[in-house]
Amino acid sequence: MKQLSLDNLRTFVTIIDAGGFAKAGEQLGRSQPAISLQVKKLEEQLGKRLFEKVGQRQVANHDGQTLYQYARDMLAINDDIFRQFEQTHLTGRLRLGIPSEFANTLLPGVIGEFSKLYPDVTLEVTSSLSRHLLSESYRSQFDLILALVHPEEETRGEVVLEDELVWVGDRTRPQTQHMLSLVLAPEGCVYRSRVIERLKQQTTAWRIAYTNADLYGLIAAIRQGLGITALARSSRPSELTIIKHRHLPHLGTIKICLFNQDTQHPQVSKTLSEFIKARLGQAATM
């Protein structure tokens, strides 16, 4: 019976998540020829090309995208098995910084599962804007930071996912045609700056109707009909739906990165990082 190499699949997934062969090689500590060879082996086993050249980039084609979904699921199961049977007894305290929208949508599941497996680890979680979490005066207060970074911005963090920014709202509260009403986080929010930047490039009239740093506050305003907002697809709460309309500009993508600081409990930090990466991967495919 044929068997796919999980190592090759992990490299394949990293290529897509990181945005290229070279970046995947940097993350995995391998040369680009070695990365290319692993992809070639996968293609030979499956009898299908997985990438096509678009401009100067190699982009996953239809077969590549199909394999990507299966590969993520297989790797998640593999990693879960090792976590379940892990003999290391983790103890300690971990200070986690996370954007508020991920704290509301991603964190509950992560905390529940992580705490069940590692009851002797104390988690201290602070949610704030990514810009604040990564500021020089603030970042030293954390052992692990999940933050949003612009796609073109260089980062020292690990790129977990390059996610699509989407418009979200309440379908029962349609927007008026003559004026786009927005519900946004305060100045300094990555989503806010992207929304305003893209809207200024077109002629659609718009206004900011409501501002709140807390995602639940934004959700409440949206459900009251005050407007729509933008979020990374993987952070969209179930209460809101993705809105598509010809008057709404495309918002592009955002990098979701993990910054693993030099801590007293590196194994705890590494383990929580794996939990977060697995959860984000699942959320991005929903």
- Cα separation of 210 and 152, whole Å? 29
So what's the pLDDT on residue 222? 94
- Cα separation of 67 and 285, whole Å? 13
Question: Chain centroid to CA 199: how far?
Answer: 24
Taking phi over 0 as left and psi of -120 to 50 as alpha, with beta for the rest, 189 belongs to beta
CATH for 6-84 is 1.10.10.10
Do the beta carbons of residue 126 and residue 96 sit within 8 Å?
Answer: yes
For domain 164-254, which CATH number applies: 3.40.190.10, 1.10.3720.10, 3.30.360.10, 3.10.580.10? Answer: 3.40.190.10
- Cα separation of 215 and 154, whole Å? 27
Using the CB atoms, write b or e for 225-249: b if 16+ within 10 Å: ebbbbbbbbbbbeeebeebeeeebb
So what's the pLDDT on residue 22? 85
Query: 158 pairs with which residues across the strands?
Result: 258
Tokens 């002629």 locate to 203
Per-10-residue mean pLDDT, the chain, length 286: 88 88 82 90 93 85 92 87 67 85 77 77 87 87 90 82 91 78 91 93 90 90 93 87 88 91 76 81 59
- Cα separation of 181 and 210, whole Å? 9
Query: In this structure, how many other beta carbons lie within 10 angstroms of the beta carbon of residue 202?
Result: 10
Which residues are CB-contacts of 243 (< 8 A; sequence separation ≥ 6)?
A: 166, 167, 168, 169, 171, 228
- Cα separation of 55 and 168, whole Å? 31
> With the C-alpha atoms ordered 62, 64, 68, 70, is the resulting torsion angle positive or negative?
positive
- Does domain 92-159+261-284 fall into CATH 3.40.190.10? yes
In this prediction the pTM is 0.65
Q: How far apart are the first and last CA of the chain?
A: 31
Q: Is 264 exposed, middle or buried (0-12, 13-18, 19+ CB in 10 A)?
A: exposed
Annotated domain spans of the chain: 6-84, 92-159+261-284, 164-254
So what's the pLDDT on residue 231? 93
Strand ranges, E, within 70-156: 92-98, 121-127, 144-149
DSSP state of 233: G
Identical fold for domains 92-159+261-284 and 164-254, yes or no, is yes
So what's the pLDDT on residue 177? 65
So what's the pLDDT on residue 87? 52
- Cα separation of 75 and 272, whole Å? 16
So what's the pLDDT on residue 284? 57
- Closest by CA position to 130, among listed 3, 255, 236, 220: 255
